[in-house]
Amino acid sequence: MPRSSSRRWIIGWFVVTFSYYLLWAWVIPPWQAPDEPLHYEYALALAELRRIPTVSDIDPERQQRILAVLEASHFWRLLGEPTPRPIPRTFAESPDPFLSRSGTQISDEPALYYVIPALIFPWVPDPIDQLRVMRIYSALLSATVASMAYATARELWPGREAVAHVAACWVALLPMAGFIGSSANNDASINAMGALLAWMIVRGVRRGWTPARVAAMAVVLITLPLTKKWGLAIIPAGGAALAWPLITRASSRQRKRLGWGIGLMLAALTAVFLFPVSDQPAAWGRRGPVRYGARTSAEAHTGRYAFVLPDLGLPEPPWIVQSLPEAIARRMRGQEVTLQAWARAASPTLLHVTIDDGVAPTEALIPVSQRWEAFSISKEISGQATRVRVVFSRGEEAPPREIYLDDVSLTGLGRNWLINGSAEAAKRFGEGFAAAYLRLPPWFIRGLFEPASYDLAALRRYVLYIAITGANFWANFGWLTLPLPIWAYGVIALTWILAVWGWRYAGRLWAEPWQRRALALLALQAGCMFAAILLPMIGRDWQPQGRYLFPALVPLAIGWAGGWAGWGDRLRWRRWWIPPVGFMIALSLGSLGGVVIPYYYFGGPR
């Protein structure tokens, strides 16, 4: 195909996909896509403050303005929830199970996606129009994914134009991609960057890594985590694409130098992640109005260190907490546990102690004197416990004094379940990074190696989570409250099985060594995303969302189209593209006309 013709198709797929996504943006009522109020809040704060907002910039007055717009837009009624009276003051106070649990995007995600909407907002004062601006902006970004799917498949299989069109069609008509891709959500930016990464990988593998391509790849890899935190997950695919030719084509001497370079880089990264944060205890979290050290060597009952709850001179007291892996919490249901610790204070005060099982927390106020004294609290963990954690803070009405704790234990089932109960181990930078940036629980790594995380009940739960993730990947609208009929997911699963099976007959699609390398790197990109969204469910009740796989949409589109092309080769059928394209058209029209439009405009699904 002439290069100009290929460009025309890239532009054509962009125009078609963008137009289709605009239809989604128009059909879906305001605020009826996941987390839209939170993403809008971020862009609005950026526009009002004219700088990147931080946690301290989360404004209840701003949230109340947004909540008033949500009420006028029938937000709760369309979710099937009663409209609260009076309207909540903040998102966290909303009684529905959606908005109140969504947290915040401010300080939780990079600001890059929100810059363009924030620049436009002053010219568009109406909140609904501002939301439409964000949706159109998302649709523009998301439409590039279909174009990149076509370009990537065209680069990978220059003589198989039909495969490229099927890959682009799959992305363009995937219902969930249209729904999320046209909503106010920073997923649009990371999905576009993931698609660009896939195309650059295939292009570099096929045509060679010129200095310009290496520089462009470096820019993409740097930009990925600036669009959304999930971008970190697919950086290894780009790094492997750059390293592969260096390793395979270098001389033995060059390989040795490269090995030393990679080894030193990994050693440096390891050193950074293992760097101790001396004033913070490992395995413990801390909360407070300002940052403070929760570990001290100035006082200790035994050993060299103790925990400290400092006097910050502020009304809100500091507190420290350790949560157990959820697999352990389930194991402890119905069991009695005993919390023991030693405490002292600079002068007499009260220590507030909590054993929280997520059902009926046990709380106690412990008098603390200037001498080290032991105390203990017992509790029977509820049979419906969702968590087990211990929390220490100063009593709210107690005099503000510095409190020290040491030799803390939580015993049950014949063992102590707390880690680092004497504060002897300092927190590592990597632990803080995982908790603060990736929002993983402090016990995440511990949960991966906990045997209870892999018992029969846990494995059954993981299978269910994966099945729901697959269903949500294809179609589940509203705030993941408006799925397709069950039988539709069965048909979808069958099409995927056929696509995967078709790769048995797709030998011509990986005949060249460079094609095998490119496909392996695309598989790595998809595998990294699968690992990133599935690993956090290990050891806890956490349902991954299928849309988190969208940064790997292009590799998955290549897998879908290539599998169906394999069936075409096996059956020697030149029109092999009719079943997959026909299925995607039917699925897309069925989602809009059979589920979304009837629910929002005709009083419920047909």
* pLDDT(3) > 70: no
Paired with 376 in beta bridges are 340
- Strand, helix or coil at 189? helix
Say whether the peptide bond before residue 86 is cis (omega within 30 degrees of 0). yes
- Strand, helix or coil at 594? helix
* pLDDT(259) > 60: yes
Q: Which two tokens stand for residue 220?
A: 């993409």
Pairing of strands 336-345, 373-380: antiparallel
Region 261-285: what's the mean pLDDT?
A: 83
Q: 283-424 in CATH: which number? A: 2.60.120.260
- What was the pLDDT predicted at 222? 93
Separation of alpha carbons 251 and 253, rounded Å: 5
Separation of alpha carbons 55 and 53, rounded Å: 7
* pLDDT(2) > 50: no
- What was the pLDDT predicted at 434? 76
In the chain, CATH 2.60.120.260 sits at 283-424
* pLDDT(27) > 60: yes
CB neighbourhood size of 586 (10 A): 14
Task: Mention every residue, 6+ apart, whose C-beta is less than 8 A from residue 590.
Answer: 484, 488
When mean pLDDT is compared over 2-16, 53-67, 110-124, 447-461, the highest value belongs to 110-124
Separation of alpha carbons 484 and 468, rounded Å: 12
- C-alpha of 407 from chain center: 36
Q: Is 136 exposed, middle or buried (0-12, 13-18, 19+ CB in 10 A)?
A: middle
Separation of alpha carbons 217 and 259, rounded Å: 21
HEC-encoded secondary structure of 414-470: CEECCCCCCCCCEEEHHHHHHHHCCCCCCCHHHHHCCHHHHCHHHHHHHHHHHHHHH
Q: Is 106 within 8 Å of 63 (Cβ atoms)?
A: no
Region 477-490: what's the mean pLDDT?
A: 94
Q: Is 533 within 8 Å of 548 (Cβ atoms)?
A: yes
Region 406-421: what's the mean pLDDT?
A: 92
Residue that the structure tokens 């593998």 belong to: 205
Torsion angle of the four alpha carbons 469, 470, 475, 478, in this order, in degrees rounded to the nearest 10: -10
* Element counts in the chain: helices (H) and strands (E): 21, 15
Q: Locate all alpha helices (DSSP H) within 157-210, ordered by sequence.
A: 161-173, 175-181, 187-207
- Strand, helix or coil at 321? strand
Q: Would you place residue 25 in the very low, low, confident or very high pLDDT band (cuts 50, 70, 90)?
A: very high
Average pLDDT for the chain: 90
DSSP structural state of residue 332: T
Q: Which two tokens stand for residue 265?
A: 């880089």
* pLDDT(606) > 50: no
* pLDDT(130) > 60: yes
Give the CA distances from residue 39 to residues 172, 179, 213, in Å, rounded to whole numbers and listed in that order.
Answer: 24, 16, 33
Q: Is 333 within 8 Å of 381 (Cβ atoms)?
A: yes
pLDDT digits (tens, 9 = 90+) for 235-245: 999 999 988 87
Q: Which two tokens stand for residue 316?
A: 């809100």
